[in-house]
Structure 1
Amino acid sequence: MRYHHVDVFTDRPYSGNSLAVFPEADPLTGAQMRAITQELRHFESVFLVRHDSPGRPRTWRARVFDLAGELDFAGHPLIGAAAVLHALHGAADHEAWTLCLTGRQVEVTTERRGPGRYASLLDQGAAAFLGRPDPEGLAGLFALDPADLDPDLPPEVVSTGLRYLVLPVRGDALARARVTQPLDAPLARVGAEFAYLLDAAAMEGRHWNNDGLLEDVATGSGAGCAAAYLRSHGRIGSGERGLLRQGRFTGRPSTMTVSADGHGRDIRPVRVGGGVALVGEGHLRELPPS
């Protein structure tokens, strides 16, 4: 079983968010995919099975796993997977791919930029705005004070596939933030699955696993929610491409291209993209038990 090691949201290897892509994962069960992901220790791995049908060429099923289990949606694995598909199957400099997840499909366009270098742009579809929770107590979840929250931008739960509490902060709050307690219960109370801290003035974000033990390098799904939020509040123009930074505090600075069309609560489509660097290929000599 061969796989590709790529770095996403960067134009050079050994930076950005790393990823393992398995482009021919037909023989694998979900249990094997999870075991392989835990073995390789990337933040996430993506497993692809070709799924063409009449009128739908260049279509693959995609299953995404992190260290805890399978995800319904993710950003950087789909962006990295499309770049690998371009490297393996793309003849032109610009290509388009359909990736089918559980319950939805997404479109990703890719561009060849040189040997081992690609750019991918993921259409995350429409954003859903799911409520503005009371900010009381939210800052404390990240060892911050209420004064560290941006007074001009309210906390809001947004989804483009996963439900994020977008928590805008200001000043040096992003640098001081840390997770002080498990986030699952407090986030569930406001209708969110994850949290994305956003400095809208600096266009920079941070995201951790809900146990706070691992900080993500660059979060494509969270960036999509941030883009929809910024557009809804008039901080970026309709269709305007902006650059959202993440990963500075992990030692792997990353840059995500974000855009969102629409006005008010009708924001669609939301797009997130970035560079992809092909780092290497591997070969599993033995598969885990099924």
Structure 2
Amino acid sequence: MTRPRDFAQVDVFSAAPFHGNPLAVILDAEGLSNTQMQQIASWTNLSETTFVLPPTQAGADYRVRIFTPTGELPFAGHPTLGTAHAWLENGGSPLADAAITQQCAAGLVTIRQEGGMLFFAAPDTMRSGELDAATLGHIRESLGVAPEDISGHQWVDNGPGWAAVQLESAEQVLALEPDFAAAQDLKFGVIGAFPAGSEFAFEIRAFLPDRHAEDPVTGSLNASVAQWLHRAGQVGSSYRVSQGTRLGRAGDVHITCEDNGTIWVGGAVTTCFRGTATA
């Protein structure tokens, strides 16, 4: 039987509405089947739709399931921040004063509020290390770049399956026109540095060849790339990343690297629509 359920659509990684990455949140998903959740996510046709449920793990404030139009993800970054924001606005109260604890298929994720923004603690990667020659070859072919254009590469998979390559400059990253067919459904990101003294340290782009699309702003990719760059000694204690520029967005991702290795990924979240969904 269908019934009204609290619903929000939020914009993540932007303080100005409609400039970040949208997320649909069903705030009361009890009773929905896997098939119904997938059907709703396919219908919203956003990169992700989340479904909030009572927690089943000790210490969690809520449980979230994250669906793309084609399947479920164990973890994703902008859905984590967007869901936490919508949950708080809908009257959610954390068990702990200092942080929110989200339960998802990848485990427990800590989220904190700071300076009007939300930050999540980056989960451990499921796969890291340099890319194999075949994978790197597919990415190079997709991007149309020479071997010498790539200054670094790494598996940065914390759930969605990301691979990443580094170019020398943000200008090179912004100029890319990828051939999605050449990537063979591999999800990958590309990062390049801005000149010293710029507002942002890096420009990053996230490509989803299986959807023939570019993701506007990507928390999971920024999280695992930050872990990689931090291990490599390329970044300091904090920096900002620009994303979505080629799509007309203005994603602003804040990264904080703690001495103990914990990476925090954050940004502003704005509610664009609130109401009820009938499901």
Structure 1 partner of 2:25: 21
After TM superposition, the structure 1 = structure 2 runs for residues 111-260 of structure 1, keeping only pairs within 5 Å, are 111=114, 113=116, 119-127=117-125, 129-134=128-133, 135-136=136-137, 138-150=139-151, 154-171=152-169, 172-182=171-181, 185=184, 187=186, 194-201=187-194, 202-211=201-210, 213-237=212-236, 240-260=237-257
Question: Structure 2: where are the runs of 5+ without partners?
Answer: 195-200
Using the TM superposition, give the Cα deviation of residue 7 of structure 1 relative to its aligned residue in structure 2, in angstroms.
0.4
* Structure 2 letter corresponding to 1:4: A
Structure 2 partner of 1:268: 261
Cα distance in 2 for residues equivalent to 1:36 and 1:18: 15
Using the TM superposition, give the Cα deviation of residue 268 of structure 1 relative to its aligned residue in structure 2, in angstroms.
3.4
Cα distance in 2 for residues equivalent to 1:90 and 1:108: 13
Picking from 86, 89, 97, the partner of 2:88 is: 86
Are the structure 2 counterparts of residues 282 and 255 from structure 1 closer, same or farther at C-alpha, using a change threshold of 3 Å?
same
Using the TM superposition, give the Cα deviation of residue 120 of structure 1 relative to its aligned residue in structure 2, in angstroms.
0.9
Cα distance in 1 for residues equivalent to 2:114 and 2:31: 29
- Provide, for residues 8-46 of structure 1, a one-character-per-residue CA deviation record: whole Å limited to 9, x for no partner: 001121211111111111121111111111212222111
**Residue 82 of structure 1 contacts residue 110 of structure 1 at CA under 8 Å; is this kept in 2?**
no
Runs of 4+ in 1 over 6 A off after TM superposition: none
* Structure 2 letter corresponding to 1:284: A
**Residue 185 of structure 2 contacts residue 209 of structure 2 at CA under 8 Å; is this kept in 1?**
no
Select the structure that is richer in helix: 2
Structure 1 partner of 2:197: none
Using the TM superposition, give the Cα deviation of residue 48 of structure 1 relative to its aligned residue in structure 2, in angstroms.
0.5
Are the structure 2 counterparts of residues 147 and 52 from structure 1 closer, same or farther at C-alpha, using a change threshold of 3 Å?
closer
Structure-1-length-normalised TM-score? 0.81
Share of identical aligned residues, percent? Answer: 24
Are the structure 2 counterparts of residues 162 and 213 from structure 1 closer, same or farther at C-alpha, using a change threshold of 3 Å?
closer
Are the structure 2 counterparts of residues 112 and 27 from structure 1 closer, same or farther at C-alpha, using a change threshold of 3 Å?
farther
SS at match of 1:76: helix
1:68 has 2:59 as partner: no
Using the TM superposition, give the Cα deviation of residue 210 of structure 1 relative to its aligned residue in structure 2, in angstroms.
2.1
Are the structure 2 counterparts of residues 73 and 24 from structure 1 closer, same or farther at C-alpha, using a change threshold of 3 Å?
same
* Structure 1 letter corresponding to 2:119: L
* Structure 2 letter corresponding to 1:242: Y
Are the structure 2 counterparts of residues 85 and 219 from structure 1 closer, same or farther at C-alpha, using a change threshold of 3 Å?
same
Cα distance in 1 for residues equivalent to 2:56 and 2:107: 16
Cα distance in 2 for residues equivalent to 1:95 and 1:278: 23
* Structure 2 letter corresponding to 1:79: L
- Provide, for residues 80-110 of structure 1, a one-character-per-residue CA deviation record: whole Å limited to 9, x for no partner: 1111122223579x75221111241111113
SS at match of 1:166: strand
- Provide, for residues 60-98 of structure 1, a one-character-per-residue CA deviation record: whole Å limited to 9, x for no partner: 111001111111110000101111122223579x75221
Cα distance in 2 for residues equivalent to 1:175 and 1:212: 20
Cα distance in 1 for residues equivalent to 2:192 and 2:121: 23
Are the structure 2 counterparts of residues 89 and 111 from structure 1 closer, same or farther at C-alpha, using a change threshold of 3 Å?
farther
SS at match of 2:255: strand
Using the TM superposition, give the Cα deviation of residue 233 of structure 1 relative to its aligned residue in structure 2, in angstroms.
1.6
Structure-2-length-normalised TM-score? 0.84
**Residue 47 of structure 1 contacts residue 62 of structure 1 at CA under 8 Å; is this kept in 2?**
yes
Indicate the RMSD between aligned Cα atoms, in angstroms.
2.5
Picking from 88, 105, 108, the partner of 1:105 is: 108
Cα distance in 1 for residues equivalent to 2:98 and 2:269: 15
Cα distance in 2 for residues equivalent to 1:95 and 1:52: 21
Are the structure 2 counterparts of residues 210 and 260 from structure 1 closer, same or farther at C-alpha, using a change threshold of 3 Å?
farther
Using the TM superposition, give the Cα deviation of residue 184 of structure 1 relative to its aligned residue in structure 2, in angstroms.
6.2
Using the TM superposition, give the Cα deviation of residue 112 of structure 1 relative to its aligned residue in structure 2, in angstroms.
7.9
**Residue 7 of structure 2 contacts residue 24 of structure 2 at CA under 8 Å; is this kept in 1?**
yes
Cα distance in 2 for residues equivalent to 1:106 and 1:20: 19
* Structure 1 letter corresponding to 2:104: L
